[in-house]
Amino acid sequence: MTDDRFALDGRVAIVTGAGTGIGRASARLLAARGADVVLAARRVELLERTAAEVEALGRRALVVPTDVTEPAECEALVAATIEGLGRIDVLVNNAGGTATKPHEEWTVEEWRQVVDLNLASVWFCARPAAARMAEQGGGAIVNISSGASFLALPDVAPYGAAKAGVNSLTRSLAAAWTPRGVRVNAIACGAVRTEGYAESGRRRAIPDDAVRGPGNAMDRVGDPDEIAHTVLFFASDASSYCSGQTLWVNGGPRAPATT
């Protein structure tokens, strides 16, 4: 029998921001590959929708309403996972988001909210999860970053800074935890057709399928499922020799114009 290195049978995954978009798609795919899934976010009704989809695939789903900007709630999320499903093998730090507006319009409070949601949450969730993973012999953490971490996008400056921090934190945590069996990797997403992307476009009167930002050689917006398959790669044994990496999934670099 061929060894399926993408199989997740017997494993338990936490997915934050699991009610919509990339989080929802990732939860479904991880379940389809055999994992039981813990679903975390603030909007319970959306988590319950994802839970029904996970259970329809024959896997267990545990809904844990969580504000990932609060350290105590992140610790409670990990504790609820252990209590409800017995272990934790995968953590997908997907929760995030931003507003889009000129840099002079950002308030101090908005800066703090964006940094807490996109960067501090990774720190708050990863530390208690990694401690449990190390105790049981290993695990995988997948952090969802953004191409904004590499680009100069003035209308999302706090978000880009926070996601650049995620890339750096990914490397630092990998250096600390890989020797203990916990791999840490990140995915820097390009334009993806999520609820947040569509809402940002509506505010700016831009079509949902418009490619925003430079460098997309495919000239199309990605689907959440395409990011989910990259999550599966880093969550599974298919990436057993990868740690501390940030993979930019963005439709490919566009060649410069020539004359």
pLDDT of amino acid 200: 57
CATH number at residue 68: 3.40.50.720
- Interacting residues of 217 by C-beta distance below 8 A, sequence separation 6+: 251, 252, 253, 254, 255
Tell me if residue 163 is catalytic: yes
The closest alpha carbon to 140, from 231, 37, 234, belongs to 234
pLDDT value at position 159? 97
Using DSSP's 3-state secondary structure scheme, residue 160 falls into helix
- With respect to residue 226, please indicate whether it lies within any of the assigned structural domains: yes
Range of the domain at 96: 12-249
The DSSP string of 177-223 is HGGGTEEEEEEEE-SB--HHHHHHHHHTT--TT---SS--TT-SPBP
CA dist., res. 50 & res. 225, Å (int): 14
pLDDT at 202: 52
In a domain, 46, yes or no: yes
Residue 243 lies in a domain: yes
The closest of 119, 47, 52, 131 to 88, measured between CA atoms, is: 131
CB 254 within 8 A of CB 216: yes
pLDDT score, position 22: 96
Q: Which of 163, 197, 200, 236 is catalytic?
A: 163
* Dihedral sign of CA atoms 250, 156, 15, 135 in order: positive
Kindly state whether residue 254 falls inside one of the protein's structural domains. no
Strand partners, 146: 189
Assess if residue 171 is contained within a domain. Answer: yes
Q: Flag residues of the chain having pLDDT under 70.
A: 1-2, 196-215, 257-259
112-133 residue pLDDT tens:
999 999 999 999 999 999 999 9
Q: Choosing from 26, 146, 149, 159, which is the catalytic residue?
A: 159
> What share of the chain has pLDDT > 70, as a percent?
90
Q: For position 255, what pLDDT does the model report?
A: 74
Residue 73 belongs to some domain of the structure: yes
Structure letter (DSSP) for residue 120: I
| Structural domains of the chain, count | 1
Taking CA 10 as the corner, what is the angle to CA 84 and CA 171, rounded to the nearest 5 degrees?
85
Q: Does residue 236 sit within a domain?
A: yes
Can you read off the two tokens belonging to residue 99? 């507003």
In a domain, 2, yes or no: no
pLDDT at 95: 97
pTM recorded for the entire structure: 0.93
Question: Looking at 26, 121, 145, 200, which residue is catalytic?
Answer: 145
Per-residue pLDDT at 1: 40
Burial class (CB in 10 A: 0-12, 13-18, 19+), 116: middle
CB 167 within 8 Å of CB 186: yes
Is 159 considered catalytic here? yes
Confidence at residue 209, expressed as pLDDT on a 0 to 100 scale: 61
38 DSSP β-pair partners:
14, 62
